[in-house]
Amino acid sequence: MLVDIHNHILPGLDDGPKSLEEALLLAENAVANGVSHVIATPHHKNRRYVNSPLTVKQAAKWLNDELLERSIPLHILCGQEIYFHNDMLQNIERDILCLGDNGKYLLLELPTYYFPTFIFDILLELQFLGYTPIIVHPERYDFLKKDKQLGYELVRRGALFQVNASTILGMNGLSLQRFAKDLIKHNLVHFIASDAHHYKERPFLIKEAYKYIQKKFTSQYVTYFMDNAKHVLEGSFLQPIPPISFKN
Ligand SMILES: [Fe+2]
């Protein structure tokens, strides 16, 4: 079983595939990467797209039926990539879909250009409500690159980090790749995911990313990342490796 916890495979909901045909090509690309389960995470509340739990569930059911009909061995589960906003706790039960719809892990995208200081309060509230927040592609936020200790603080206070496979492979530039590796070295990465959008332009790449990590780090990291993704799928508890401060 290989699980991808962040991608935009559902057609017509966001900046992912524009048609069923494109979604099926992306699904075939996932299978070619050895992926058996994808948790589809369309953008939610990022100023351009709103995708309610019901919309996501209907789209996932439709795509699952089409995959079954074509004997493409891929299972789609539901999720959202939730843009972080200060009123996200209001209506959380109705508006927010956990990864795999099992009530535990949430995928959170942070604002690109500024660090929302109130995030620490919201992290606390989310955990109090029983959710574990997963912050997507920390390597892409300049404020974390400039202040690495802030990343450590977020993890220390209960957030988990997901790095993109394309970053690991250096496709988003050397500086992001270096930062992602630095995060891994400090035990601040808990997942590698594809953030796939398109079968050609932004494909899965997860198989290659894992191969790269095995070569540059150890196979234990690969097992850790893969097991963590399975825990998300099952909604079960995962034990993060203690983070290492940048001040040591
Ligand atoms: Fe995404």
| Domains identified in the chain and CATH numbers | 3-234 (3.20.20.140)
Report the separation in Å between the CA atom of 166 and the middle of ligand 1, taken as the mean of its atom positions: 12
Average pLDDT over residues 207-224: 97
Report the separation in Å between the CA atom of 41 and the middle of ligand 1, taken as the mean of its atom positions: 7
Q: What confidence category does residue 234 fall into, taking pLDDT thresholds of 50, 70 and 90?
A: very high
Residue 4 or 90, more confident: 4
Report the separation in Å between the CA atom of 6 and the middle of ligand 1, taken as the mean of its atom positions: 6
Report the separation in Å between the CA atom of 248 and the middle of ligand 1, taken as the mean of its atom positions: 32
Report the separation in Å between the CA atom of 247 and the middle of ligand 1, taken as the mean of its atom positions: 31
C-beta separation of 194 from 206 below 8 A: yes
Mean of per-residue pLDDT scores for the chain: 96
Q: Residue 200: helix, strand or coil by DSSP? A: coil
pLDDT of residue 83: 96
Q: For residue 35, give every residue at least 6 positions away whose Cβ sits within 8 Å of its Cβ, in sequence order, or none.
A: 2, 3, 4, 74, 194, 204, 206
Report the separation in Å between the CA atom of 220 and the middle of ligand 1, taken as the mean of its atom positions: 26
pLDDT of residue 245: 98
pLDDT, tens digit (0-9, with 9 covering 90-100), for 28-38 = 999 999 999 99
Report the separation in Å between the CA atom of 45 and the middle of ligand 1, taken as the mean of its atom positions: 12
User: Which element (helix H / strand E) includes 129?
Assistant: none
Q: What are phi and psi of 158, to 5 degrees?
A: 105, -5
Report the separation in Å between the CA atom of 214 and the middle of ligand 1, taken as the mean of its atom positions: 24
pLDDT of residue 69: 98
C-beta separation of 169 from 211 below 8 A: no
Q: For residue 171, give every residue at least 6 positions away whose Cβ sits within 8 Å of its Cβ, in sequence order, or none.
A: 205
Report the separation in Å between the CA atom of 241 and the middle of ligand 1, taken as the mean of its atom positions: 25
What's the one-letter identity of residue 126? L
What is the C-alpha to C-alpha distance for residues 99 and 113, in angstroms, rounded to an integer? 26
Q: What confidence category does residue 47 fall into, taking pLDDT thresholds of 50, 70 and 90?
A: confident
Report the separation in Å between the CA atom of 116 and the middle of ligand 1, taken as the mean of its atom positions: 19
pLDDT, tens digit (0-9, with 9 covering 90-100), for 158-211 = 999 999 999 999 999 999 999 999 999 999 999 999 999 999 999 999 999 999
pLDDT of residue 82: 97
Report the separation in Å between the CA atom of 26 and the middle of ligand 1, taken as the mean of its atom positions: 14
Report the separation in Å between the CA atom of 213 and the middle of ligand 1, taken as the mean of its atom positions: 21
- 102 closest CA partner among 127, 131, 125, 76: 131
User: Which element (helix H / strand E) includes 31?
Assistant: helix 20-32
pLDDT of residue 93: 87
User: Is 90 exceeded by the pLDDT of residue 84?
Assistant: yes
Joined together, the tokens standing for residue 89 give 């706790």
C-beta separation of 194 from 185 below 8 A: no
